[in-house]
Amino acid sequence: MGESGRKTADSIFTKIIRGEIPCAKVLETDLLIAFLDIAPLAEGHTLVIPKRQVERLEELSPAEAGAIAAVLGPLALRILKATGAGDYNILQNNGAAAGQVVPHVHFHIIPRREGDGLGYRWNAQRSEPAKLAALAERIRADA
């Protein structure tokens, strides 16, 4: 069930978890599963997902979030060792505007090499201190 209480369709990841769709599994616990992406951005591109289907990060239980956080770093190191890559990105998208395609929380571990052409760059611009202070106050007020 989704946050609204209505039944949501099973995601492709839920079908993978149930064994209806095969995957190249690299890790499984009671709360999560990790497997190689079938359309990798780089060799070793791995997805780490909760077994319970929720769409957004804030819908994870503390136990699910903790279990995922506990495996991301160690698993990334295992992936680097297996692929020979030296660096990695961990990406996670929430909502269509953020690039989420599958409505099931998932973290990407993407091995990176110098000059790999993936070209992930920030398009950042410096903000005024007064604007940052005002925004920080709004964020704190909603806690």
Catalytic residues: 106
Angle (CA) 55-97-22 rounded to 5° is: 45
Q: Confirm if 58 and 19 have CB atoms less than 8 A apart.
A: no
Spatial CA neighbour of 64 closest among 12, 99, 106, 95: 106
Spatial CA neighbour of 35 closest among 79, 73, 5, 69: 79
End-to-end CA, the chain: 27
Place of tokens 């007020």: 141
Q: Confirm if 83 and 111 have CB atoms less than 8 A apart.
A: yes
Question: Rounded to whole angstroms, how far apart are CA atoms 60 and 107?
Answer: 13
